[in-house]
Amino acid sequence: MRIGFIGVGNMGGPIAAHLISAGHDLSIFDLNEDAMGPLVELGAKPVSSAAATAENSEAVFLSLPMPRDVEEVVSGADGLFSVMDAGQTVIDLSTSSPTLSRSLAVEGQERGIDFLDAPVSGGVYGARKGTLAVMVGGSEKAFERTMPLFELFAAKVVRCGDAGAGNVVKAVNNMLAFVNMMGATEALLLGSKAGVDPKVLREVVEASSGASFVWSSGTRAILRDRLAPSFTSALACKDIGLAVDLADELEVPVPMGRHTQQLLETYRDNGFADEDILATVRALEDEANFVVRGLAPDIQ
């Protein structure tokens, strides 16, 4: 297939690489020209604008940071919808607003263009390994037609419902993940300062009611002190903001979500914006006068 891809950074780049490896012909665009270099070496064609990726393409993928970027690229004056023909498909991998996704799907339908919101989970590691989870909203026909593409970079692909449903599920997932992350850092620090070997603490919780994916992976990263910014606090604030906005729109109380949003925004505004969300444990360590990072560098 001829495929367009807009936004080939930390997540989009590896996903696009899987598509190229499978033999698809990609036209790519990113505001950061350096980000396109590795994909050009793999055979992708760089183009001069986002809209140019749609030329002769059957589908155009987006992997963009903010809902406003998605709206501008898809529906702006020089957006994809202004140049695409009936029968083409837009696949938005960004974590975006469900309301915006529904609006863009309606606009696309009026032009005969399918729009799928398909946010992903699994981080940069999952993107590189091709093991992402993809939550798709949109028509069943478009979903079935594009499933072979999703399967090239994902281990789990689920159609969650009509347009916007993918981003609803992503918002809920990320809100829960961030609540868990903040709790996991506090629990690890508390138990370790109280004198329990953090390896023992981690092992027992993993076998108990406090277990979660976040506990397992997050505590491992902290105890190894491997907290490279794979998911920054600034990005976490954006994502949990989408969940809280959705809750406000639907008049659903989310006190835990709202408190976590406030906590993350405080961290963001106090030096952690470009650091990994788990690196915020340093702020807790300073208050507790106890360092948990690096206590078990060899933990598996």
Residue 244 CA to residue 252 CA, distance in Å, equals 9
> What predicted TM-score, i.e. pTM, was given to this entire model?
0.93
Nearest to 60 by CA among 35, 34, 38, 93: 93
Mean pLDDT of 237-246: 97
CB 176 within 8 A of CB 236: no
Domains of the chain: 2-162 (3.40.50.720), 168-288 (1.10.1040.10)
Residue 122 CA to residue 108 CA, distance in Å, equals 28
The Cα-based distances of 39 to 9, 21, 89 in angstroms read 11, 10, 22
Q: Active-site residue among 170, 193, 199, 238?
A: 170
Would you place residue 300 in the very low, low, confident or very high pLDDT band (cuts 50, 70, 90)?
confident
Tell me whether residue 170 is one of the annotated catalytic residues: yes
Phi (first) and psi of residue 157, to 5 degrees: -130, 125
Tokens 């946010």, residue located: 119
Percent of the chain, pLDDT > 90? 97
Nearest to 292 by CA among 234, 212, 244, 224: 224
How many CB atoms are located within 10 Å of the residue 63 CB?
26
Q: What is the pLDDT of residues 9-61, one digit of tens each?
A: 999 999 999 999 999 999 999 999 999 999 999 999 999 999 999 999 999 99
Look up residue 229 and give its DSSP letter: S
